[in-house]
């Protein structure tokens, strides 16, 4: 078996395209995705702030207070403009959104009417809109809410208790709307991923891309069996004292070896170049690399086993790998996917691999907690291996 | 040396080999001729223990292939019809790999690889990758890879397909040299002149059955074409008479 393994390794190293596809391309993609997910190359590890056009047509104390509050937010930079120009700039795509505070804003707050504020935006830039929505709603609600409540109570007291003098009314209002009256406020505290310096986006970029690329290179190893069948070398191997099963096992061993090597190289790159925090369970990491490699390599061999020709195997592998990677979270993080897709993702090897690496690097869980995912990956590997052996005996080794 | 007794092999509904029997003596060159799909490759695969016959016996060097297929593989070399080589490896690397499968000790294998490269006249190209070789050179290395374990029997399955006359002649010389050293050779081909040139005996096979076998003289007698100069190549005339002129696709 070692002789076949050595031959496959020599052939792999002789084929520059395979080496590039297996090692250099994933490194480039991981770096690009890490940039895209905002984990490296941006200030303080955060995404760039969103520029928001603001047209304040009211120009009152209340409207200015709101604008100042929005401007003080970390994720938003206010760019003052007028309403016509703001619309033009959003339509041209130069800005994602504009907030227009119409005349009568302060009076509406005072009299409890609907607030004349409009947010115009470019629907195609959903991610930036999401950031804006989250920040604007909380800022506008907290600022306007207080003014609305204040004026409502004041109006009620004037109607119901017109004889109360102004000083007493102010004292009642002051007590009712205390500045520190925030007993209902929810305290937001992040408790996951606080123990290390690794950014979520970087973990997504490394794990997602590594598994995706792993599948492609391992599928290449799988299809090489069909290539060998087509050019007659499998037949010639069978003329020798080798057993058919040895030929298959050596291919599986080689695919597994390449997978381990590739995953290890990706994490080393992420650690040395992208500053990924490796202060995690080492036994967990080693077992995750082994189980992911086993699952992915058996899947790659299985994809070759179900095809009849090399051409068919290549096309089939590409389709299945892309679909599985898309639903399994290699291309898009799982948490932004619809619930139904998150359930479907459970059938993909990418999902279990990526979630395992999340557990390891983001949640910093110990080995015992990651073990179920490792066992699922090993289970996928065992099932795929058994199916591949059966299919290969039936299709490939039959002359 | 080799005996086939009433061998049958069926694949699904196709009877690939039907009641095939022949004997091949030690040091003989035995030709198997037949149109496409006649069953030549199935017979070769049965001899190499890759395909198990449904019925009948195959005895090679006193060993029944049903009992000890592995020993048969050690005494037999097969040159496949395809150029079954690794294009990205050099000629020497290919020889070392294929020879290594027979557990030949490394120093011995190295010496044997160089010796075999000498036989096929490619020592000066030993470090070049196969993908840089011409079709004829690849065919020669294809033969060399089957000689490393010193087989007593060599099966050549159409070894000269797509080869120019010079390379073809070189391959013939190699076969004749190996035979003169005592190697038993089984040669399947479509080319009549090749079989005529060096086969001691020939079996003509069609639709899985041997339609005639013997020396060229015996085949002439069986076919009734006694005059060698009557029509074109003699063996071709015999072959066409015995297998018919119908196209085999």
Q: Of B95, B6, B18, B9, nearest to B45 (Cα)?
A: B9
Task: State residue B115's pLDDT score.
Answer: 93
Q: Of A43, A34, A109, A39, nearest to A77 (Cα)?
A: A43
* Mutation target vs B (from A1, A241, A393, A399; most B CBs, 10 A cutoff): A241
Confidence category of residue A157, pLDDT binned at 50, 70, 90: confident
Per the structure block, which two tokens stand in for A207?
């794990």
**Chain A residues near residue B70 by CB distance under 8 angstroms:** 241
Please give, one letter per residue, the 3-state secondary structure of chain A. Answer: CHHHHHHHHHHHHHCHHHHHHHHHHHHHHHHHHHHHCCCCCCHHHCCCCEEEEEEECCCCHHHHHHHHHHHCCCCEEEEECCHHHHHHHHHCCCCCEEEEECCCHHHHHHHCCCCCEEEEECCCCHHHHHHHHHHHHHHHHHHHHHHHHHHHHHHHHHHHCCCCCHHHHHHHHHHHCCCCCCCCCCCCCCCCCCCCCCCHHHHHHHHHHHHHHHHHHHHHHHHHHHHHHHHCHHHHHHHCCCCHHHHHHHHHHHHHHHHHHHHHHHHHHHHHCCCCCCCCCHHHHHHHHHHHHHHHHHHHHHHHHCCCCHHHHHHHHHHHHHHHHHHHCCCCCHHHCCHHHHHHHHHCHHHHHHHHHHHHHCCCCCHHHHHHHHHHHHHHHHHHHHHHHHHHHHHCCCC
* Mutation target vs A (from B101, B104, B154; most A CBs, 10 A cutoff): B101
Give me the interface pTM, i.e. the ipTM: 0.88
Task: State residue A46's pLDDT score.
Answer: 52
**Chain A residues near residue B131 by CB distance under 8 angstroms:** none
Supply the mean pLDDT for chain A: 82
Task: State residue A292's pLDDT score.
Answer: 95
Q: Per-residue pLDDT averaged across A94-119, rounded?
A: 86
The per-residue pLDDT for range A286-336, each reduced to its tens digit, is: 999 999 999 999 988 888 888 888 888 888 888 888 888 888 888 877 777
The per-residue pLDDT for range A200-255, each reduced to its tens digit, is: 778 888 888 889 888 888 888 888 888 888 888 998 999 998 888 888 889 889 99
Comparing A84 with A177, the larger pLDDT belongs to: A84
The chain A residue lying nearest B80, using CA atoms, is A236
Residue extents of the structural domains in chain B:
2-81+152-162+173-243, 85-144
Count of Cβ atoms closer than 10 Å to residue A47 Cβ: 16
CATH 3.40.1710.10 fits A47-150, yes or no: yes
B→A interface, C-beta within 8 Å:
45, 48, 50-51, 70, 73-74, 76, 78, 80-86, 88-89, 93, 97-98, 100-103, 129, 145
d(C-alpha A35, C-alpha B123), whole Å? 54
* Mutation target vs A (from B39, B45, B50; most A CBs, 10 A cutoff): B50
Per-residue pLDDT in tens (0 to 9) along chain B, 249 residues: 899 999 999 998 888 899 999 999 999 999 998 888 888 888 988 998 888 899 999 999 888 888 887 888 999 999 998 899 999 999 999 999 999 999 899 999 999 999 999 988 899 999 999 999 998 899 999 999 999 999 999 999 888 888 888 888 888 888 999 999 999 999 988 777 888 888 899 998 888 888 888 888 787 777 666 655 544 456 777 777 667 766 665
Q: Does A239 touch chain B (CB under 8 A)?
A: yes
pTM confidence score:
0.73
Domain B2-81+152-162+173-243 class, CATH top level: alpha beta
CA distance A270 to chain B (A): 32
């Amino acid at each position: 078996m070692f002789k076949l393994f050595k031959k496959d390794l020599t052939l792999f190293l002789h084929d520059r395209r395979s080496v590039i596809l297996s090692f250099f391309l994933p490194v480039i993609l991981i770096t690009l995705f890490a940039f895209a997910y905002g984990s490296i190359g941006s200030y303080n590890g955060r995404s760039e702030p969103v520029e928001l056009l603001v047209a304040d047509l009211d120009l009152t104390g209340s409207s200015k207070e709101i604008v100042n509050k929005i401007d003080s937010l970390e994720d938003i930079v206010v760019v003052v403009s007028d309403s016509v120009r703001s619309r033009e700039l959003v339509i041209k795509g130069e800005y994602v959104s504009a907030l227009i505070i119409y005349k009568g804003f302060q009076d509406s707050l005072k009299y409890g009417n609907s607030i004349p504020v409009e947010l115009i935006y470019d629907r195609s830039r959903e991610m930036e809109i999401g950031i804006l929505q989250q920040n604007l709603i909380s800022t506008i609600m907290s600022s306007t809410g207080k003014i609305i409540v204040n004026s409502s109570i004041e109006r009620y007291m004037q109607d119901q208790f017109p004889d109360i003098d102004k000083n007493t009314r102010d004292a009642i209002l002051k007590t009712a709307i205390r500045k520190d009256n925030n007993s209902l406020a929810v305290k937001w505290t992040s408790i996951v991923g606080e123990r290390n310096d690794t950014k979520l986006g970087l973990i997504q970029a490394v794990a997602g891309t590594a598994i995706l690329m792993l599948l492609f290179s391992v599928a290449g190893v799988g299809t090489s069996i069909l290539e060998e069948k087509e050019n007659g070398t499998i037949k010639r191997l069978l003329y020798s004292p080798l057993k058919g099963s040895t030929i298959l096992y050596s291919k599986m061993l080689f695919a597994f070896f390449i997978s381990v090597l590739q995953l290890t190289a990706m994490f080393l790159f992420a650690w040395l170049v992208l500053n990924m925090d490796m202060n995690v369970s080492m036994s967990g990491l080693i077992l995750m690399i082994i189980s992911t490699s086993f699952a992915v390599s058996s899947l790659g061999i299985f994809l070759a086993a179900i095809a009849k020709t090399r051409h068919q195997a290549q096309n089939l592998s590409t389709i299945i790998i892309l679909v599985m990677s898309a639903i399994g979270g290699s291309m898009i993080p799982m948490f932004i996917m619809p619930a139904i897709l998150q359930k479907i993702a459970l059938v993909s090897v990418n999902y279990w691999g990526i979630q395992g690496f999340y557990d390891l690097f983001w949640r910093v869980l110990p080995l015992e907690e990651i073990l179920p995912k490792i066992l699922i990956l090993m289970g996928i590997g065992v099932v795929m291996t058994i199916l591949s052996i059966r299919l290969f005996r039936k299709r490939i080794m039959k002359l | 040396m080799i005996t086939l007794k009433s061998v049958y092999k069926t694949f699904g509904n196709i009877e690939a080999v039907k009641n095939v029997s022949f004997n091949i003596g030690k040091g003989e060159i035995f030709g198997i001729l037949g149109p496409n799909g006649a069953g030549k490759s199935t017979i070769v695969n049965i001899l190499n223990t890759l395909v198990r016959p449904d019925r009948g016996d195959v005895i090679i060097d006193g060993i029944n292939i049903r009992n000890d297929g592995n020993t048969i593989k050690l005494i037999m070399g097969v040159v496949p019809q395809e150029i079954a080589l690794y294009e990205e490896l050099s000629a020497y690397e290919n020889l070392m790999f294929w020879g290594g499968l027979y557990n030949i000790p490394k120093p011995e294998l190295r010496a044997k690889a160089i010796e075999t490269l000498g036989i096929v006249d490619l020592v000066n190209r030993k470090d070049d990758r196969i993908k840089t070789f011409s079709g004829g050179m690849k065919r020669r290395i294809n033969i060399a890879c089957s000689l490393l374990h010193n087989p007593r029997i060599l099966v050549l399955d159409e070894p000269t397909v797509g080869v120019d006359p010079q390379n073809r002649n070189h391959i013939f010389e190699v076969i004749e040299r190996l035979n003169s050293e005592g190697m038993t050779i089984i040669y399947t081909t479509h080319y009549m002149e090749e079989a005529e040139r060096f086969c001691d005996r020939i079996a003509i096979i069609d639709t899985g059955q041997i339609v005639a076998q013997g020396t060229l003289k015996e085949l002439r007698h069986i076919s009734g074409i006694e005059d060698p100069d009557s029509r074109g190549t003699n063996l071709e005339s015999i072959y066409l008479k015995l297998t018919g002129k119908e196209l085999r696709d």
